Structure 1
Amino acid sequence: MSVKFQALVVHKEEERFTMRIEQLTTHDLPEGEVLVRVHYSSVNYKDSLAATPAGNIVKTYPFVPGIDLAGEVVSSDDPRYKKGDAVIATSYDIGVSHFGGYSEYARIPAKWIVPLPEGLTLKEAMIIGTAGFTAALSVRRLQENHLSPEKGKVLVTGATGGVGSFAVSILSLLGYEVEAGTGKTAEAEYLQELGAAAVLSREQVYDGTGKALGKQKWAAAIDPVGGEPLSAVLSQIQYGGSVAVSGLTAGAQLPTTVFPFILRGINLLGIDSVYCPMETRLSVWQSLASDYKPANLESIVAQEINLEQLPDILPTLLSGQARGRTLVKLI
C-alpha cells in the first residue's frame, strides 16, 4: 500500500535549480528495510549545502535533503525493529545520496538506525542531532586522550553554532572551564547560560598573524571552524594537549607548521560523525541520554519550524546568521 505525504524536494536541471514542497508517495522512497514516520528533523550546515546549487553535496536529482531524522517505525523487514519503535537515523548517506529527513516518511537501511535511548524523547534527539552527536564525540575523543578538568581551560571555537553550543554545554556539565570563541560576542549571555566561563572574540583566538607557536593558553579545544583559525588554535595549546576538529566553516586549508606537534606534542584529532562505527555511535547516544545530556537542552533551540519554512531558513547557516539549533517538526 502506497502512502501520500509531503517532502522538501530539490531539483537541478542544467543551470536551473529549484527547491519546493512536493507530494510524494512511499513508492518514491529509496530502498531500505525500515519505513519511518518522521516526527522531527533539524537544520545542519550540510543541509544548507544540499539546498544550494553550488553546494557539491548532492550528486543526483530530484532529491530530499535532511541528514537527521527521528520518528516511529511504520514497517520493517528487519527483525530488530517493529512497528511503533522510536528510532534515530543520522549520518551515513542520509540527506546526501539517500533521501533524508525533510520528509514526512523516510525509508532507511536498518544498519543506519539507532534505537531511541531511554532518557531521550524524539524531539530531544533532534535538538541534539548530528551537531550534538559531533560535539559529544569530540568530548569523548578528548577524554580518551587524557583530558580532565584539572588539566586546564578548554576552548570551543564557533561556539554559537550547533556543534559549538553543545560542546560548551557538555564540557561545562562535566566540570570543565570552558572559553567560548565566537564572532558573535553579542551572544555572550547565551554562551554563559550554556556554561561558558569566558567569551572570547574571534580576534582573541586568531589575530591574523599566523604565528608558528604562541602562548600556551588551553589544555584542549573543540574546533568546528577549521582554516587559519584552527592553525592559530594549534599554536596555543598546552604541551601534550589535543584539538578535536570536525568542521571547515573557515576553510578546508590548514596553513600550519609542524612545531606544535614536534615541540609541544599536540594531538590533532579528526572527528567523523558520518561513518563513525555503530558500536561507538550507540555508546555516544547513550551518553547523550545520560551524563552528557545538557540540563538546558531547550535553550539551544533557536527556533522550531515546519517544512514550508525550510527554504527561507536553510541559507542562514551559509551566511553565518544561525545560532544554536533549528528544529524541524513534521508531525
Structure 2
Amino acid sequence: MESFRGFRIDQEKGAIHARLETLRLEDLAPGSVVIRSHYSSANYKDALAATGKGKILRRFPLVGGIDVSGVVESSEDPRFHPGDKVLVTGYGLGSDHDGGYADYVRVPADWVVPVPEGLSLYDAMALGTAGFTAALAIQRMEDNGQKPDQGPILVTGATGGVGNLAIDMLAGLGYTVVALTGKREAAEDLKTLGASQILFRQTLEMGQHPLEKGQWGGAIDTVGGGILGWLTRTVLPWGSIASIGLAGGSELHTTVMPFILRGVSLLGISSVDCPMLLRQHIWQRLAADLRPRHLNQIVTGTVSLEELLPVFEAMLAGTHRGRTVVSIRGDEV
C-alpha cells in the first residue's frame, strides 16, 4: 500500500480538529498485525474524542475509532495470517493508539480477536464495543450468581447502543427486562427488543432513604450519577448492578447499607482492558446465546468516514438512538 484515508484528530492552538487525511503505514502507531479495515462503529467515546468534548485522547495527532473489523493484510505474529477475519475493540485503540477509522490499522497481535464463526465483519461492528460491553456486563452478573428468577433487570439509558443490546440479550436469556429512558417515543421499539415494562426518567420517584423498596433483581446502568445511587437503594437482596457509563454524572452518593444489609453487588464493567481469554469467550457468546435477535433493528444507520461528524453531534445532543456502523471498505468477505 502507498497511501490511504484516515479520520485523524489533532489539536491546534488548544482546539480539537478532526478530518480525513491521507496517511501512509509509517504514520500509524507500531504493531505486528496490519488489518485491512472493512467496518468500524460510532460510539459515545468516539464522539467525545473527535469533538474535544471529553479528554479521551492521550496523544495527538491520532486516528479515531475504538472499534474495527477487517481482514489481516500482514502479520509478524504466527497466530495470524493474511486473509484472517479479525476484530479489535478496547485496549488503547482510538485513545492512545491509532484507531479503526482508516483503511488500514496496525496493532499489537495481543489485541486481535478472530471473528467467531457465525458473525460477519459487519455483524462484529454492529455489536462493537457496545455489544461487547453489554455482554461483559451480563457475564459478570451471571458469574456473581444473577438468575432470571431473582426478579426483573432494569436497564438504564435504554435507547443507547449498550442499552438496546442489553435489553435484547437479557430477554433472549429469559430475564424479565424493564427499560428506563427519557424518550417516550421509543417505548414501542424497546418493547419490540424485549422490554416488558418502560419507565420514564421524567416521572421517576427515587426517594431519599438509605434503603428504598426493593424492586429489581439486578440492573445494567449506563447512566451513573443519581440513577446509580438510586439503584443501590432499590435492588433486591443479592442482586447485581453492572456499572458501565457516567453520562448522568461521575459521583456516586449512597451508603454501605445496600451492600451489608441486602448483599447488593456493584460490578464495574471495563471493556478496555478485559483479559483476552474472557474477551474471546464473550465474543464466542455474542455469536451464540448472546447474539441479539433484533440486531438489524438496533442498527439505525450505516455511514462513511465522511459522514461521521454529524453522527457525533447527535450523540452528544442526546438525539442519537441505537447503533451506527461505519463502512470503511463496505465490501463483505
Shorter-chain TM band? over 0.9
CA distance in 1, matches of 2:53, 2:317: 14
Determine the structure 1 residue equivalent to 2:215: 217
Q: How far did residue 203 of structure 1 move?
A: 3.9
Determine the structure 2 residue equivalent to 1:254: 252
CA distance in 2, matches of 1:35, 1:168: 35
What does the per-residue CA deviation read over 1:29-83, in whole Å, with 9 as the maximum and x for residues that have no partner? 1100000011000011111111122411112211111000000000000011000
Amino acid at match of 2:115: L
SS of the equivalent of 2:63 reads coil
SS of the equivalent of 2:238 reads strand
Query: Which residue, out of 277, 280, 284, partners 2:278?
Result: 280
> Is this contact kept in 2: 1:226–1:245, CA < 8 A?
yes
TM-score, with length taken from structure 1:
0.97
Amino acid at match of 1:30: A
Query: Which residue, out of 315, 318, 321, partners 1:317?
Result: 315
What does the per-residue CA deviation read over 1:97-134, in whole Å, with 9 as the maximum and x for residues that have no partner? 00001111100110000000001000000000010000
SS of the equivalent of 1:135 reads helix
Q: How far did residue 151 of structure 1 move?
A: 1.5
Report how many aligned residue pairs link the two structures. Answer: 329
Q: How far did residue 209 of structure 1 move?
A: 4.1
Determine the structure 1 residue equivalent to 2:23: 24
What does the per-residue CA deviation read over 1:238-261, in whole Å, with 9 as the maximum and x for residues that have no partner? 011110111111011001111111
SS of the equivalent of 1:131 reads helix
In the alignment, structure 1 segments of 5+ residues that lack a partner are: none
Report the CA distance shift for 1:145/1:25 in structure 2 as closer, same or farther (over 3 A): same
> Is this contact kept in 2: 1:86–1:115, CA < 8 A?
yes
Amino acid at match of 1:149: P
In the alignment, structure 2 segments of 5+ residues that lack a partner are: none
> Is this contact kept in 1: 2:223–2:249, CA < 8 A?
yes
Q: How far did residue 208 of structure 1 move?
A: 5.4
Amino acid at match of 1:212: P
What does the per-residue CA deviation read over 1:228-287, in whole Å, with 9 as the maximum and x for residues that have no partner? 110011111001111011111101100111111122111001111110100100000000
CA distance in 1, matches of 2:52, 2:147: 43
CA distance in 2, matches of 1:221, 1:232: 11
TM-score, with length taken from structure 2:
0.96
> Is this contact kept in 1: 2:7–2:101, CA < 8 A?
yes
- 1:1-331 to 2 correspondence within 5 Å? 2-204=1-203, 206-207=204-205, 209-331=207-329
> Is this contact kept in 1: 2:103–2:328, CA < 8 A?
yes
Q: How far did residue 323 of structure 1 move?
A: 0.8
SS of the equivalent of 2:240 reads strand
Higher deviation after alignment, 288-297 or 143-152:
143-152
Amino acid at match of 1:143: E
CA distance in 2, matches of 1:16, 1:196: 42
Amino acid at match of 1:200: L
